[in-house]
């Protein structure tokens, strides 16, 4: 059992997500930075789909009621165990009674705490991910608060043998430096003027204060739409289209761009003009408020290659960790 002493700013239980229900308006939810979530799980001997605790900007303080094996990845929140500093991107043993404390994120926005056996909250529609809007999944469908008790699942194998496993530096992302996310232009990008399409990829965008699991609202230059007589059913604003489905990672432009994230609305009537590739969504999720972001347009095969490269990298990491066990 993990007992929460302080919940942080927005800490939730997340796994890889909830699928198969998008057509009834259910977004996938799931970890915002899949790479960090997956590596944390691998470090403690879990499968990638075990649930972790996702922390945003300010981490949790928690005590362990049992011996456990943990790993913390993602944003650096300077974790300590009983006041002693512990490493990130590595496997750490905790004893029953130990207190884990995480501070404010210095680099990146989201950290992941994995525990061998996974956070064992009940599955809702096949996933342990928290979706707070309707209050399902995770711990009571909400962010973590003082006094919450999270059960730890049964671990496979002997995770204690993984303690002190460190992820090779070459696999640790540098969240402070990664300011470019790749996108595939398309969807209803025909609504934008050619100049605005170019501007989308040339401009410096700043992550606004409205950037959360639902969407990342970006500040930058104005984008303009092509003039047209609005088609029946679309609505009167030039940014309006007949309501359609929004891909996760898609960039909608009510005026300024909003990149839709894991808990986003599943559809609506704003023009969407491109989609952040799956391999880079986690990088955007780690960009702090007021930091810059640039979009780089790639084609679909480059997007698939980037996803394969990330998956291969995760496979290599898993193999290397397993070989130390």
Which residues of this chain interact with other proteins, rule CB under 8 A? 19-26, 125, 133-136, 141, 183-184, 186-188, 231-236, 240-245, 247-250, 265-269, 275-279, 300, 303-304, 306-308, 311
Give the Å distances, CA to CA, from 67 to 7, 56, 85, 113.
Answer: 21, 25, 18, 15
The minimum distance between CB 83 and other proteins, in angstroms, equals: 41
129, 14 in Cβ contact below 8 A? yes
**Separation in Å, CA 212 to CA 56, 144, 263:** 9, 16, 9
Instruction: Return the number of the residue (80 or 278) whose C-beta is nearest other proteins.
Output: 278
Paired with 183 in beta bridges are: 276, 297
* Residues whose CB falls within 8 Å of the CB of residue 151, separated by 6 or more in sequence, listed in order: 1, 119, 120, 121
Smallest gap from residue 125 Cβ to other proteins (A): 8
> C-beta of 218: minimal distance to other proteins in Å?
17
Q: Which is nearer to other proteins, 162 or 182 (CB)?
A: 182
- 274 in Cβ contact with 187 (< 8 Å): yes
Q: Which residue number, 107 or 311, has a Cβ lying nearer to other proteins?
A: 311
Residue with smaller CB distance to other proteins, 176 or 244: 244
Nearer to other proteins, 111 or 200 (CB): 200
CB atoms within 10 A of CB 139: 24
Number of Cβ within a 10 Å radius of residue 52: 30
Report the nearest approach of other proteins to the CB of residue 184 (Å). 5
Query: Please, what is the minimum distance in Å from the beta carbon of residue 14 to other proteins?
Result: 18
Please identify, using beta-carbon distances, which residue of 54 and 280 lies nearer to other proteins: 280
Q: Least separation, in Å, of the C-beta of 279 and other proteins?
A: 8
CA distance 129 to 53: 10
Strands 68-76 and 80-81: unpaired
3-class DSSP state of 11: coil
Our CB check for other proteins shows the closer of 201 and 300 to be 300
Closest of 115, 120, 14 to residue 70, by C-alpha: 115
Give least dist CB 134 to other proteins, A: 5
Q: Tokens 């909830």 — which residue?
A: 18
């Amino acid at each position: 059992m993990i007992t929460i002493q302080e919940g942080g700013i927005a800490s939730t239980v997340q796994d890889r997500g909830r699928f198969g229900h998008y057509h009834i308006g259910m977004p996938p939810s799931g970890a915002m930075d899949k790479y960090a979530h997956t590596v944390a799980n691998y470090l403690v001997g879990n499968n990638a789909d075990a649930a972790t605790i996702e922390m945003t900007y300010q981490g949790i303080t928690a005590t362990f009621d049992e011996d456990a094996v943990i790993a913390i990845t993602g944003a650096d929140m300077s974790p300590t165990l009983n006041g002693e500093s512990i490493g990130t991107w590595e496997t750490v043993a905790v004893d029953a009674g130990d207190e884990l404390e995480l501070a404010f994120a210095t680099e990146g926005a989201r950290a992941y705490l994995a525990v061998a056996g996974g956070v064992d909250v009940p599955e809702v529609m096949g996933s342990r991910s928290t979706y707070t809007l309707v209050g399902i999944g995770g711990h009571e469908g909400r962010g973590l608060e003082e006094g919450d008790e999270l059960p730890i699942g049964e671990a496979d194998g002997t995770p204690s043998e993984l303690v002190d496993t460190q992820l090779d530096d070459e696999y640790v992302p540098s969240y402070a430096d990664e300011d470019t996310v790749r996108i595939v232009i398309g969807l209803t990008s025909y609504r934008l003027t050619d100049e605005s399409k170019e501007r989308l990829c040339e401009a410096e965008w700043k992550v606004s204060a409205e950037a959360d699991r639902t969407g990342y609202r970006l500040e930058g230059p104005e984008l303009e739409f092509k003039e047209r007589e609005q088609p029946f059913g679309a609505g009167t604003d030039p940014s309006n289209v007949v309501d359609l489905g929004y891909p996760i990672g898609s960039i909608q432009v009510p005026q300024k761009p909003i990149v839709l994230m894991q808990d986003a609305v599943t559809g609506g009537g704003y023009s969407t003009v491109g989609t952040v590739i799956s391999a880079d969504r986690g990088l955007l999720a780690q960009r702090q408020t007021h930091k810059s972001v640039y979009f780089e347009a790639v084609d679909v095969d480059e997007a698939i290659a980037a996803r394969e490269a990330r998956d291969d990298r995760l496979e290599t990491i898993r193999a290397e960790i397993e070989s130390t066990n």
